[in-house]
Amino acid sequence: MNYIFYLLILVSIIFGAINGKLTDVVNAILSGAELSVKVAFSLIGIMAFWLGMMKIAEKCGLIEIISKIIKPVTKKLFNEIPENSPAIGDIAMNFSANALGLTNAATPIGIKAMEELQKHNIDKTSASNAMCMLLAINTAGFQLIPATVIAILIGIGYKNPTNIIAPTLLVTTIAFISAIILAKIFEKIWTKQTATSDYANKIQVKGGETCSSK
């Protein structure tokens, strides 16, 4: 990420200078920073709502039920995560919300799933394999109906906007499956995470048992 961050900014400044758009580039810093805070603040309300809802869902055992149903799939994809972790149910809810195009619900639930995965992470600053898998599932953007795109097409008077549903579904499925396969391949070839001393101590205190989520 260090290199990507540096490269994005370096390239912007060089090309901004070449294209004579350096003023725009500098202005973009301010507008970008402002936009970031706007985006974060616009998340507060809906985030609070879904975190509240998910807490009820967890307490009443609904998440557990969902976890049991999708266990065969998640066992393969998230093999580092204990089967009874609430993360599994959260991941299922996150995926369903995305598939139905409910982005406002999917993001808070996805973050909650990440928090659960963080409890099983051996290095709290680096992404575990399970986190990379969950991110791959989310960045692939699997969606049954591309509602926003169809709305735009209707807006411009496209003759048969629903024509794009079948090809989009096919393409999004291909991208989704590729993302999962790629995440699994990279999991094998990428440098393994090393446990931080903090985590290692915790395990020792508990007499070699893996630390529980409580």
Partner 1 sequence: MFQQVMNFLSLWALPAIILLILTMGLIKKIPIYEVFTDGAKDGFKVAVNIIPYLVAIIVAISMFRASGIIESAEILFSGILSKLHIPADVLPLMIVRPLSGSAALGVFSDIANGADSYATKLAAVMVGSSETTFYVLAVYFGAIGISKIRYALIVGLLADIIGFAAAICVCNFL
Residues 2-31 that bind partner 1 (CB under 8 A): 4-5, 8-9, 11-16, 18-19, 21, 24-25, 27-29, 31
CB of 183: closest distance to partner 1 in angstroms?
5
End-to-end CA distance of the chain: 32
CB of 5: closest distance to partner 1 in angstroms?
6
Give the side-chain half-sphere CA count within 13 A for 108: 18
Binding residue (CB under 8 A) for partner 1 from 81, 91, 92, 114: 114
CB of 214: closest distance to partner 1 in angstroms?
17
Binding residue (CB under 8 A) for partner 1 from 69, 73, 170, 211: 170
CB of 70: closest distance to partner 1 in angstroms?
16
Are the CB atoms for 112 and 89 separated by under 8 Å? Answer: no
Binding-site size, partner 1 (CB under 8 A): 109
d(CA 20, CA 106): 41
Binding residue (CB under 8 A) for partner 1 from 79, 124, 210, 211: 124
- 205 in contact with partner 1 (CB under 8 A): no
d(CA 52, CA 1): 32
d(CA 11, CA 51): 39
d(CA 138, CA 132): 10
